[in-house]
């Protein structure tokens, strides 16, 4: 089975721009979660989607949004980029999104905002 | 009450030694405690997990010890190897919930 695929791997954007990150989950997985990882803040939960519906949301501003398609693929969008948005963005898929279902992470998209 | 406190932030252990990472929680409703391992340039991967009705779980050189009364759980890596060098995250899940509460992570370096 193919793992979780995130594209692109690296991205450099300018402050004020917007960006879209993509995630393809493991086949059969219906839940996709997004995390922001920075050296000082660890793993910060952004949101979780299940069957095209946002089921959980972390404490991030409205500039961060996402969506899930009928094939479970997910995208995450950040508008009006700020320097502090520079981070590794990780996508994780699981069968049903329950906390005791193992999360399978992609290798992330490294976003740099200049 | 929703926090999971992980320590230490970083750890250096000699090859062959025992690495110990600790996590503490407050909410007694947590009922599932996974550990994830992350290598540089990779996403985290599930390493081992435990439920509170078990005091210890062992998988190879990795052991979770769980102390329900103290509300603490720890990861022990026996005979630590350079290939174990990674960042380790503990987490906790509220019963029936869909969200993990993550510890801050421990960067482990095993010196050859």
* B27-79 per-position pLDDT tens digit: 888 989 999 999 999 999 999 999 989 999 999 999 999 999 999 999 999 99
Q: CA of A12 to nearest chain B CA: how many angstroms apart? A: 17
A42 has which bridge partners? Answer: A38
CA dihedral B96→B99→B103→B106, nearest 10 degrees, is 110
Q: Which of B43, B47, B96 to mutate to test the interface with A (most CBs of A within 10 A)?
A: B43
| Interatomic CA distance for residues A48 and A31, integer angstroms | 7
Residue B98 contacts A where some CB pair is shorter than 8 Å: yes
B32: nearest CB among A48, A99, A106: A99
Compare all CA atoms of chain A with the CA of B41 and give the residue at the minimum distance.
A107
Cβ-Cβ contacts under 8 Å, A102 against chain B: 34, 46, 49
Cα–Cα distance, B102 to B38 (Å, whole number): 13
The pLDDT score that the predictor gives to residue A40 is 73
Q: A35: part of which helix (H) or strand (E)?
A: strand A31-38
Confidence band of A99 (pLDDT split at 50, 70, 90): confident
Asked whether residue B95 carries a pLDDT value surpassing 80, the answer given is no
| CA nearest to B6 within chain A | A42
Strands B10-14 and B106-111: what pairing? parallel
Confidence grade of residue B1 (pLDDT, cut at 50, 70, 90)? low
B12 touches chain A (CB under 8 A): no
Nearest residue in chain B measured CA to CA from A6: B43
Which one has a higher pLDDT value, B7 or B27? B7
Res. B22: pLDDT tops 80: yes
Between B22 and B95, the higher pLDDT residue: B22
The share of chain A scoring above pLDDT 90, in percent, equals: 89
Q: Which of B98, B101, B102 is the best substitution to test chain A (most A C-beta atoms within 10 A)? A: B98
Q: How far is B44 from chain A (nearest CA, A)?
A: 6
What pLDDT is recorded for position B96?
66
Chains A, B: CB pairs < 8 Å: 55
Task: Give SS3 for A64.
Answer: strand
Closest partner residue to A43 among B89, B93, B96, by Cβ? Answer: B89
Mean pLDDT of A7-22: 98
Q: Which whole number is the average pLDDT over A52-75?
A: 95
- Residue B43 to residue A4, Cβ atoms within 8 A: yes
């Amino acid at each position: 089975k193919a793992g979780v695929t995130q594209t692109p791997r690296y991205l450099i954007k300018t402050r004020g721009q917007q960006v879209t990150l993509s995630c393809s989950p493991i086949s059969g997985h219906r839940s996709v979660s997004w995390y922001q990882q920075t050296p000082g803040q660890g793993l910060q939960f952004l949101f979780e989607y299940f069957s095209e519906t946002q089921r959980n949301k972390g404490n991030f501003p409205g500039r961060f949004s996402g969506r899930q398609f009928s094939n479970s693929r997910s995208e995450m969008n950040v508008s009006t980029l700020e320097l502090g948005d520079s981070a590794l963005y990780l996508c994780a898929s699981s069968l049903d999104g329950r906390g005791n279902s193992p999360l399978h992470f992609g290798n992330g998209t490294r976003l740099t905002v200049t | 009450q929703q926090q999971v406190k992980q320590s230490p932030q970083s750890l250096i252990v000699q090859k062959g030694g025992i690495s110990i990472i600790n996590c503490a929680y407050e909410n007694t409703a947590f009922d599932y405690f996974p550990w994830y391992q992350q290598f540089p340039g990779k996403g985290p991967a599930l390493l081992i997990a435990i439920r509170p009705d078990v005091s210890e779980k062992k998988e190879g050189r990795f052991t979770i010890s769980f102390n329900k009364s103290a509300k603490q759980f720890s990861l022990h890596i026996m005979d630590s190897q350079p290939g174990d060098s990674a960042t380790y995250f503990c987490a906790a899940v509220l019963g029936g919930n869909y969200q993990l509460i993550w510890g801050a992570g421990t960067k482990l370096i095993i010196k050859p």
